[in-house]
Each structure stands twice: as structure tokens, then as C-alpha cells.
Amino acid sequence: MMQTDLRIKRTKADLREALIDLISEKGFDAVTVGDIAERAMINRATFYRHYHDKYELVTSIFQESVDKLLSELGHPPDDMDAIYQWHNEIFAESYLENPNSVSPKVQSAIEAWIKFFEHFAKYARLYQAMLGRRGSAWFTAQLIDYLKNSFYKNIKVKKKLPLQRSDNDMPLDVGLACLASWPVSVLTWWLENGMEYSPRQMAVWTLCGTYRGIHRAMGVNLTSSKDK
């Protein structure tokens, strides 16, 4: 039984690697099940024993990626209000010069985003294929949806949404789409351009763009109670 399990894991790993290679070479849309099976050196029947089609294979890759991401990020910071207050506490340039210049709560929140970028750097080959120009639009959409849900939960838990929304405020769905698309766009650019900047730099810049700009357009109150 153990040998069977190992064989299944090896076959799935080979299929995953085959798909990643083929996406890099010809793009996801052009890849067929026959291509994947041939590259993995198995027959089509073996492929269909594990996956219904290439979309189920890419779904499994996405879920595995999210599981790894969550395990590496660990628990989110207890007080994400720190990030909302960050624009009043320090500028990005100052933080990059001296990371110890921020409060422990801010540092904890920033570190979570640093781990986010470190994860993508660690598995750069996978994400360069999946998120790049030849990658899977479905994979990118799933990552954006994952981030949208994360942002929504954080906003809802922290009650950052105003009790009475103005007619001029950006609708929540639009705001969440902007919030989630921005990090993915930045991440994709970073991967496609050789990851010239460190995960720490990318995390800080992404946080600045995300929390100091779009939230305000949504009508979300970024002012801490101490500033009132």
C-alpha cells in the first residue's frame, strides 16, 4: 500500500512538473492532456485516473500552493489596525532604512506580507508559469478571489466599513477587486522581471499602495481613534 501511495504521489508530481514546463513553452491554453501525458512519460489513461482534465490538474496545483502559502504565513497579526495606522506612523522609505523604527504591531503585520512575497520567490518557477503571460487565467482569477476574501474578512472583522456609506464611495465589490488585483499585478511584474527587489521592499511598497490609496476611495476610515 505504501509503495502504491508513493507511486501515485510521484505520478502527480510528474504531471505537475510537466504542466509547468509546457505552460512556459507554449502557454496554458495550447497545452493538451496528450502533451502533459507525453511529457510526464505516462499514457493518457493514467492521467485520467488522477484528473478529469487539465483544469482539474491546475486546480490541484492552486490548492496545494494556497496550502503551502497559509502554512508559511502562519497566523495573521492579531491587530491589523496597525497597518491602517501605518501611514500616520512612518513612511516606507524610513522603514526600509530602519525596520526597527516601527511598533511591534506594525512590524508583525509587515512581516506577514514579507512572508507572502518570500513564498512566491521560493516557488518562483511555478508562479512564473502560472501567473505569467502564458499562464492560466483561471489560476490568476483564483488567487485574486483568495485575496478578495481575505481583505473582506479583515475589513468585516475590524468593522472598517462605515455605518452609512456615501453615494460617492466606491462600491465594496469594486474596492475589493482593486485591493486584490493590485498585489497580484505587482507580484506578477516582480516575477517576470527577475525579482530584482527584495521581498521586504516589495511587501512595503505593496502595502503602501494598497492601504494608503484604495481604502480611502472606498470610503473606509483609515484614521485611528487617537487621531480623532
- pLDDT, greater one: 133 or 76: 133
Q: Do 41 and 62 reside in the same domain of the chain? A: no
User: What pTM value is reported for the model?
Assistant: 0.73
- Shared-domain flag, residues 12 and 97: no
Residues in the chain: 228
Chain centre to alpha carbon of residue 200: 15
Number of domains, the chain:
2
Whether residue 191 sits in one domain with residue 89: yes
Tell me the per-residue pLDDT of 121-163, one tens digit each, with 9 for 90 and over.
988 988 999 898 888 888 899 889 988 888 787 766 555 555 4
Write the pLDDT tens digit of every residue in 195-222. 999 998 888 888 777 666 655 545 555 5
Q: How far apart are CA 29 and CA 70, in angstroms?
A: 28
Asked if 79 and 47 sit in the same domain, the reply is no
Based on the fold, state whether residues 47 and 62 are members of the same structural domain.
Answer: no
pLDDT digits (tens, 9 = 90+) for 177-198: 888 898 899 999 999 999 999 9
Range of the domain at 114: 58-227
Q: Which three cell numbers stand for residue 144?
A: 485574486
Taking CA atoms, 13 is separated from 57, 69, 90, in Å, by 11, 18, 45
pLDDT higher for 164 or 105?
105
